[in-house]
Structure 1
Amino acid sequence: MKAHTWLASTIVSAAMFAAGAAYADDPVEIRFAHWVPPTHPLQQAITEWGASLNEATGGTISVTIFPAQQLGAAKDTYDMVRDGIADMGYINPGYTPGRFPVFDAANLPFNITNATDGSAAIDEWYGNYAEKEMGDIYVCLANAHDPGTFHSKEKIVVPGDVNGLKVRPANGTISKMVTLLGGQPVQVSAPESREALERGVADAITFPWGSILLFGIDKTVKYHLDMPTYVVGFVWGMNKDFYNNLSDAQKKAVDDHCNPEWAKQTSIGWATYESGGRDKIKAMSDHTVTTPTDDQVAEWRKAVAPMEDEWKKAVNDAGYDADAVWNDLQDTLKKYNSKY
């Protein structure tokens, strides 16, 4: 009996020791910076991601979120992460035009149909190029917001309607589209967009639907084009020294939270929010939502076609095989049923 008691006690002690060893890592805090309001669905996505990571590490990794540009301007997020001002950040590569030419493919118009499966596709595809193009940070995952479109003070239906307008574009790629269509890009971040429209600095904006309401832009623009013109791709980046200083167990937990499945998961809430904004705006009596005909959509696609060639030149100049990169993206989008 004593032998059985001793054996049972030994097994329990060993199990407790193993459990303790699994969670013997030093506790660390991830300071996660983003630039949208704390009421934005992204805040909830990061919260849920952080909670799952905390559980996977036995509580040794916690995530503290700094929203609304608290740690620095939106356009500086990549450098903030690289330099350790933030341990992680939500990076919009399009805020620094020309710096990340490969990733720009995710932002080309009329390319990706949705933000959920599309996010998984972007993440899997960019995983082949991230180490070379963004090698001074740890790229955790890439995702996208729900398709955006034109919202304006005067009606926009066909490409020619953009000619002469001042447009706040979503990023550098959409800025090129505005220029190609004869418009004048007005470069301001999302939090600064409403003021630019109110002051007459901009006549129109490219934005997803729900964010029009979230940022109060529905007070300044009354016309909306119901066409999935583009998505914006983002990167969840981590400071490389921060990542390298984690224990092996903590690194594995982080890696397990940085994949196409999590890319999709973190986009669902935002995508649902944005698509819901369309119905809310359609129900507003003082707003006009226009759905283009198939011929008009074909006109848009033809008007922006030169952007693909321009993108390929930039990628070739950066030392990549642009055709191979492009075909890789298209194949991955088809795999995830998200190709336009």
Structure 2
Amino acid sequence: MRKQFQYTAAAVAAALALATGFAQAQDKPVQLKLSSWVPAQHPLNPSLQAWADDIKKASGGTITATLFPSEQLGKAFDHYDMARDGISDFSYVNPGYQPGRFPIMAGAGLPFLFANAKGGTAAIDAWYREYAATEMKDVKFCFAFVHDPGTFHARKKITVPSDIKGMKIRPATSTIGQMVTSLGGTNVQASAPESRDMLERGVADAITFPWGSIVLFGIDKVVKYHMDAPLYVTPFVWVMNKDKYNAMSTAQKKVIDDHCTTEWAEKVASPWADFEYGGHAKIAAEPGHEIYKLTPDQMKAWRDAMGPVEAQWADSVKKVGQDPKKVMDGLKASLVKYKAAL
């Protein structure tokens, strides 16, 4: 009797395996265009490729993907709309490149919130899932992530908020841009790939950027002063064209859903986090650069100067019918949960 049960169980398992393979064989092949605006050598790209390779494996080879780095499919500023319109099937998006369009996500770009990128990525992804379907309704949200905290890199030393007055600064996010304006500076809009040229030509005096990317984009050749403080992180999202997703089989949709999780956000973001963290030592080893820490009084001055920026963000959230206190309390609680609160 026991043997018969074993044979039956084995037969059922084999039948299930065959059925699964048959079902995957019946799924129509899907070819995905993945768009990344950072250069090919950027550490995010291998992570996105590994993510796509795992999707191919999980789908039995029915979902394959080609990654297009270096703005091949379109400019960095356009990546959200590219996913919406089907120019790309997945897009790497910096929501801060379109100030005012994504006010809830902009809250994650407020200064002095994130202590690190790995826990910070889990925190922002888990938090934003409550809002993504409303704020980014044109696309299918996959996951959110952040880079390791960035800071000011400039042609002159910036130690206190009043130093910003009269400066031309390329901000990483819309909220950093609001900070610059509130302190009497001028924002210079430029995507990451365009930033070195802006600084080299004197169109900008400073930039907010993470450490490793300063070297990657060659910006270390045109700035020499670096504030050693976790000023901000940039929130990013990985989003999908809705029509592409809806045209997939049920099994294929499940594969995509299984790869659009907080766990996958961490996997994709972690190598980049390590890369940015390592940039500090690279710049410190270069001659002619000054990396300086802030005194407790200087740090307090920066925190105190954030009041108008936080108020402006709160107003923008109220305009879309959300409670800014609830939104921010949720983000801060998530940061504490994932050990990433500053």
Q: TM-score range by the shorter chain?
A: over 0.9
2-side partners of 1:255 and 1:272: how far apart?
26
Does 2:318 align with 1:339? no
Residue aligning to 2:154: 152
Residue aligning to 1:87: 89
**Count of equivalent residues:** 336
* 1:269-288 pair list within 5 angstroms: 269-288=271-290
Post-superposition offset of 1:161: 1.5
CA offsets per residue over residues 82-120 of structure 1, 9 Å max, x none?
Answer: 000100100110000000101101111111111111111
Secondary structure at the counterpart of residue 70 of structure 1: coil
2-side partners of 1:161 and 1:8: how far apart?
74
Residue aligning to 1:264: 266
Equivalent position amino acid for 2:24 in 1: Y
Post-superposition offset of 1:7: 8.8
**Identity value in percent:** 53
Structure 1 residue ranges without an equivalent (≥5): none
TM-score for both structures, normalised by structure 2: 0.94
* Range with greater deviation from structure 2 (315-324 or 190-199): 315-324
Residue aligning to 1:171: 173
2-side partners of 1:204 and 1:235: how far apart?
25
Does 2:145 align with 1:143? yes
After superposition, the Cα gap between the structure-2 partners of 1:12 and 1:153, relative to the gap in structure 1 and judged at 3 Å, is: closer
Residue aligning to 2:296: 294
Residue aligning to 2:221: 219
Secondary structure at the counterpart of residue 305 of structure 2: helix
Does 2:130 align with 1:128? yes
* 1:1-340 pair list within 5 angstroms: 14=15, 17-24=18-25, 25-340=27-342
Conservation of the 8 A alpha-carbon contact between 2:161 and 2:183 = yes
2-side partners of 1:70 and 1:310: how far apart?
35
Post-superposition offset of 1:17: 2.9
Post-superposition offset of 1:19: 3.8
Secondary structure at the counterpart of residue 191 of structure 1: helix
1-side partners of 2:290 and 2:207: how far apart?
15
Post-superposition offset of 1:180: 1.4
CA offsets per residue over residues 272-307 of structure 1, 9 Å max, x none?
Answer: 000100011111121110011222111111111221
Conservation of the 8 A alpha-carbon contact between 2:21 and 2:60 = no
Structure 2 residue ranges without an equivalent (≥5): none
Secondary structure at the counterpart of residue 141 of structure 2: strand
2-side partners of 1:7 and 1:295: how far apart?
74
CA offsets per residue over residues 142-176 of structure 1, 9 Å max, x none?
Answer: 00111110001111112121111111110211111
Alpha-carbon RMSD: 1.8
Secondary structure at the counterpart of residue 64 of structure 1: strand
2-side partners of 1:123 and 1:16: how far apart?
34
